[in-house]
Structure 1
Amino acid sequence: MEARAVENWKEDPFDALLKVQSEQDLFKCVADMARSLGFEYCAYGIKMPVPISRPSVAMFSNYSERWKRCYEERGYLQIDPTVQHAFRSTLPIVWSNRLFASALDMWDEARSQGLQVGWAQASRGPNGAVGLLTLARSADPLTAAELAENQTKMSWLTQYTHAAMANLLTPKLAPETQITLTLREREVLRWTAEGKTAYEIAQILSISERTVNFHINNVVTKLGTCNKTQAAVKAAALGLLI
């Protein structure tokens, strides 16, 4: 019976998230689902793979305005251990003194503003976007029994939130991800990324060097880059070489 309940919770509300038409309405739905799991606070952030040097970022939360101002003004995004973990792993983490040992000021400030208990998990999409969902509350420790009961739902919420948000935000924040490369363009660019010259690529693919350069020029134009090296880096970041 319990397994069926989890299955229903997984299928119906989550599929509905994919149909929401705006990121603001989507976040409201996610926050409502977080509350049903016992978390009064919810936050979601997404980082695009481009621009490489300064990637586009979008953040949503129902935290207090005071905490949001504090987080931004003190640059906590740069030192937040949960964010750092998100770039290394998609495994879920629970807030703890040990986790925030490298950011004690941030941890003390968060707890002083009612953010006592939290859980977070990252997601990654095929276009290179990284998302992080955080569920938090002001009291009641997150017990092993609660995790055993709800972590499957929490993880599903994480994955669907990222999929839905990425669908809405990627075309706005990283329009380059909508670019399509031909099979031959991908082949040429993969070998370019390996450091091969146009002559070497021509030999490998049994085509003329002129044809190789033709494809490279097309890719450089499509991606709006200055040269083939930048094109290869950008295409790899966007997941276009898969």
Structure 2
Amino acid sequence: MEQWSRENLDRLAQATSADEVFEAALHASRALGFEYCAYGARLPVPLSRQRTFARNNYPEGWQHRYEEAGYLAQDPTVLHGLAHGTPVTWNDAVFEKAPLLWEEAQSFGLKVGWAQSLFGQQGTRGMLTLARSGEQIQPAELDAKEASMSCLANATHQAFSRVLAADLAGLPEQPLTPRQVDILKWSADGKTSSEIAEILGISINTVNFHVKNALVQLNAPNKMAAVVRAAMLGLLN
């Protein structure tokens, strides 16, 4: 698998667009014996209506059916991925609570699959799924390929995060300044503008100036929302 790793990880690292990343991931998955590849990510903000990003080459009919039936909310592989970073291999037991989804997926040729979720530094959760219509994944195949499959999942997540940086990770276009970070940290601790001004040895107007700029950069409606968003994105660490 050394040649597979060198060739396919290089392609992912050199990709400059979402299309190129997906094509590189699909090429790598086919080399591992899977005809289908799917990547999905759930963005950390906004909290009230979290957005998702997805790319796959599943049969078009299944893509429409999956969306129409709202299967994303009940897909056991997705639910597993939201809670765990360990891989999951499709089988009857995994889909026990979603039998109709499993039955319909198989009717579209999605009979065998493996998925692993990834947790990004900015709170972005992603998941790569490899699937096929043919032979079941036997223990020997899993032993031989799972390290490469996990490597592909991580590399794909990193590549998508890189090419879609601001949108996928939810990062502001301009980084917060050290002073903005300090003020938001103290705000997170419940300090008022006057208290922060005294702590930092600056005027209240200066505190409010930095808060106002942070709101614009974070696209937040108020200071509390800015603090939550910055914390979710790991900007206050």
* TM-score relative to the length of structure 1: 0.88
The yes-or-no answer on 1:184 pairing with 2:184 is no
**For residue 53 of structure 2, what is the aligned residue in structure 1?**
58
Q: Which amino acid aligns with 1:189?
A: L
**For residue 223 of structure 2, what is the aligned residue in structure 1?**
228
CA distance in 1, matches of 2:134, 2:199: 62
**For residue 23 of structure 2, what is the aligned residue in structure 1?**
28
CA distance in 2, matches of 1:176, 1:26: 20
The yes-or-no answer on 1:161 pairing with 2:156 is yes
Q: List alignment gaps of at least 5 residues for structure 2.
A: none
The yes-or-no answer on 1:151 pairing with 2:155 is no
Flag the 1:190–1:101 CA change in 2: closer, same or farther, 3 A: farther
Aligned with 1:125 (options 120, 125, 130): 120
Output one character per residue of 1:181-240: Cα deviation in whole Å (capped at 9) or x when no partner.
Answer: 112211221222232323443455455544433322221232222211010111122222
Flag the 1:225–1:31 CA change in 2: closer, same or farther, 3 A: same
**For residue 213 of structure 1, what is the aligned residue in structure 2?**
208
Contact kept in structure 2, 1:121 and 1:132, CA below 8 Å: yes
1:10 deviates by 2.7
CA distance in 2, matches of 1:204, 1:147: 57
Identity of aligned residues (%): 44
Contact kept in structure 1, 2:40 and 2:128, CA below 8 Å: yes
Q: Which amino acid aligns with 1:168?
A: V
Output one character per residue of 1:64-92: Cα deviation in whole Å (capped at 9) or x when no partner.
Answer: 11111110110111111111222222221
SS of aligned partner of 1:239:
coil
How many matched pairs?
237
Aligned with 2:36 (options 34, 41, 44): 41
Once superposed, what is the RMSD of the aligned Cα atoms? 2.1
Q: Which amino acid aligns with 1:15?
A: D
Output one character per residue of 1:32-65: Cα deviation in whole Å (capped at 9) or x when no partner.
Answer: 2111111111111122223332233221111111
Aligned with 2:191 (options 196, 208, 232): 196
